[in-house]
Amino acid sequence: MNKTWLVIQREYLTRVRKKSFIIMTVLGPILIAGGIALITWLSLQESTYQKILVIDDMQPIFDNLEDGNSFEFDYSSMEIEEAKKIFPNSEYTSLLWIQSNIDATNKALLYFKSQPSKMVLRSIEKKVEFVVENMKLKKFGIEREDYNKVRTDFTIIPYKYSDEGKEEKVLTEKAYVGFFFGILIYLFIFLYGVQVMRGVIEEKTNRIVEVVVTSIKPFQLMMGKIIGIALVGLTQFLIWVVLMVVFVTAAQSLIMSKKMDKVAAQAAVVENITQSNPGFPGSAIDMESAVNPKMDITSEDHLINRINWPLMIGMFLFYFLGGYLLYSALFAAIGAAVDNDTDTQQFMMPVTIPLLIAYFLSFMMVDNPESPAAFWGSIIPLTSPITMMIRIAMGIENSQIWELILSMVLLVGGFVFTTWLAAKIYRVGILMYGKKVNYKELWKWLKYGD
C-alpha cells in the first residue's frame, strides 16, 4: 500500500506540475465561458439582410407583404423561369415563389443565396400566412374579427404528481441541469481515461515498467496510476469550480444588483449554459426568459430550489469516480496491450461506443426521461455514470430509490470487474514488446497464471 502511495504521488505531482496542466486549469473556465459567449453571440447575429423578390402567380394578391427587421419584400410580375435567370446577378438575396394553388398546398418556395436563419424564415412564414389566411377568410366569408374569436392556441401543462402527493410542473430545465453534469462526467472520463492509457503506453515504450514491476506488483502500479490521475482530475475540477464562482460573481456584481449571492451566481451559470446553447432544443424560445422573474431565487419555482442539490452533488461525485474508475481500467488495459498510440484504434472502439451511446441517450432523455431506454441506460454501469445524472436532477421518487441503489451497486460491481479484467491484461501486456496483439491474444492473456 505504501508503494502504491508512492506511485500515486509520482503520477499526481508530475502531472500537476506540468505547464500544460496549469495553463488548462487557468484557461479552461475562460475558454468555456468564452466559447459559450461566442456561440450565443453568433446565434443571435442575423446572417445577412434579406432582400426578397416575390414572384406571385396569383397576382395581385401578394403585393403588400409586411417588411421585417431584417428583410424586405419587392414584387415582380415576371414568370418564375425568367426570375430565376436574372436572380444570380440581381441585388436580391432570395426569391419567394407563390404558386397559384397556395391556398390548397399551404406551401411556397424560397430560393436563397445565403440561408436565412430559422427565426427569419419563421417571420417570413408568418407574413405570408397572414395573407393566405385573409384569402381563405374572404373565400368563406368570415370576418377576421370572428376568426380571432374562434382561433385557439391550446396547451397541456404536464405536472408531475409524486408518490408523496407533491405536484410539480415538469420542465425540461431540470433535465438540462442533469444533462450538464452528465456531459461533464463524459468529458472527464474521456480526458483522464486517455491520460491513463497514454501513461501506460509511455511506461511501456520507455521500458521503465520492467524495472518498476520488480519493486511493485503490476496491479499496484496500475491502481496507483489510475488513482493518481483521478486526483489530478478532481484537483482540476475543484479549481475550475472555484474560478467559475469567482468569475461569475465578479461578472454578476458588474451587471446585476449586489443582492445576488454566490449560490444564485452558480445557478445562473448552470441555467445560462443550458438555456443559451443552441444545441439544446427549445433554446431559442427560452432566450427571452433570461430576464424574467424566474431569476428571483427566493421564488419556490426557481430552478435552484427545485433540485435536490446535496443529492445531486453527492451523486455527481459518486458517478464521476465510479465511471472514471470503470473506464480508466479499460483504458489502462488498452495501453498495456499496444506498443504505441497508433495501435490503440482497434481496442478504443468497444470502449468509446458505450460512452457515445450514453451521450446520445442523455440527449434523448431530456425529452423523454422515463422511457425504458432511459431506465436501462441509467442501470447499466457502462452508461449509468452519464445518464443517471439526468434522472437525479429531475428528482428520484421514493418508489425509484431501489433503481438508484441498484445502479450504484452495479457501478461498483462494474468497476471491480473491469479492474480485475484490466489487471489480467495489464500484467501480461506491459512486458510484451513488439507483438501485434488482437482480441484472440488478449483472451489468452486472461487465462495466464501469475
Partner 1 sequence: MSSILNIESVSKAFASKAALQDVSLEIEKGTVFGLLGPNGAGKTTLIRIINRITAPDSGSVFFDGRPLSGDDIRKIGYLPEERGLYRKMKVGEQAVYLAMLKGMPRKDARRALAEWFERFEIISWWDKKIEELSKGMAQKIQFVTTVVHKPQLLILDEPFSGFDPINTQLIKNEILNLNKEGITIVFSTHNMSSVEEICQDIALINNSKLVLTGEVNEVRKKYKENIFELEYTGDAEAMDTLKNGNLSIVERNVMSDGSQKIRIKAKEETSLNQLLSAAIPKVEVHAAREILPSMNEVFINVVSEHNNPSNNSNDE
Q: Least CB distance from residue 449 to partner 1, whole Å?
A: 6
Query: What dihedral do alpha carbons 278, 281, 282, 288 form, nearest 10°?
Result: -20
- Which one-letter DSSP state was computed for residue 398? G
Provide, rounded to whole angstroms, the least separation between the CB of residue 193 and partner 1.
20
- Asked if 151 touches partner 1 (CB under 8 A), the answer is no
Using CB under 8 A as the binding rule, whether residue 85 contacts partner 1 is answered as no
228, 195 in Cβ contact below 8 A? no
Identity of residue 70: S
Cα separation, 93 vs 111, in Å, equals: 9
Total residues at the site for partner 1 (CB under 8 A)? 25
288 contributes a contact to partner 1 by CB under 8 A: no
Asked if 74 and 55 touch (Cβ cutoff 8 Å), the reply is: no
Q: Which of 417, 183, 191 shows the shortest CA–CA distance to 324?
A: 191
Shortest Cβ 10–partner 1 spacing (Å): 6
Answer yes or no whether residue 16 interacts with partner 1 by CB under 8 A.
Answer: no
Q: Does 340 bind partner 1 (CB under 8 A)?
A: no
Residue 6 interacts with partner 1 (CB under 8 A): yes or no: yes
Window 197 to 216, contacts with partner 1 (CB under 8 A): 202-203, 205-208, 210-216
Instruction: Map grid coordinates 503506453 to a residue.
Output: 201
Q: Which is nearer to partner 1, 15 or 391 (CB)?
A: 15
Q: Do residues 392 and 374 lie in contact, with contact meaning Cβ atoms separated by under 8 Å? A: no
Instruction: Report residue 96: phi and psi, to 5°.
Output: -105, 120
The contact pattern for partner 1, residues 158-197, with x = CB under 8 A and - = no contact, is ----------------------------------------
Q: Would you say 3 or 127 has its CB closer to partner 1? A: 3
Q: What SS3 class is residue 448?
A: coil
242-281 positions binding partner 1, by CB under 8 A: none
DSSP assignment of 375-443: HHHHHSTTTHHHHHHHHHHH---GGGHHHHHHHHHHHHHHHHHHHHHHHHHHHHHTT--S----HHHHH
- Is there binding between residue 399 and partner 1 (CB under 8 A)? no
Least Å from the CB of residue 217 to partner 1:
9
- Asked if 444 is part of the footprint of partner 1 (rule: CB under 8 A), the reply reads yes
What 8-state DSSP symbol labels residue 69?
Answer: S
- Which positions touch partner 1 (CB under 8 A)? 3, 6-7, 10, 14, 202-203, 205-208, 210-216, 431, 433, 444, 447-450
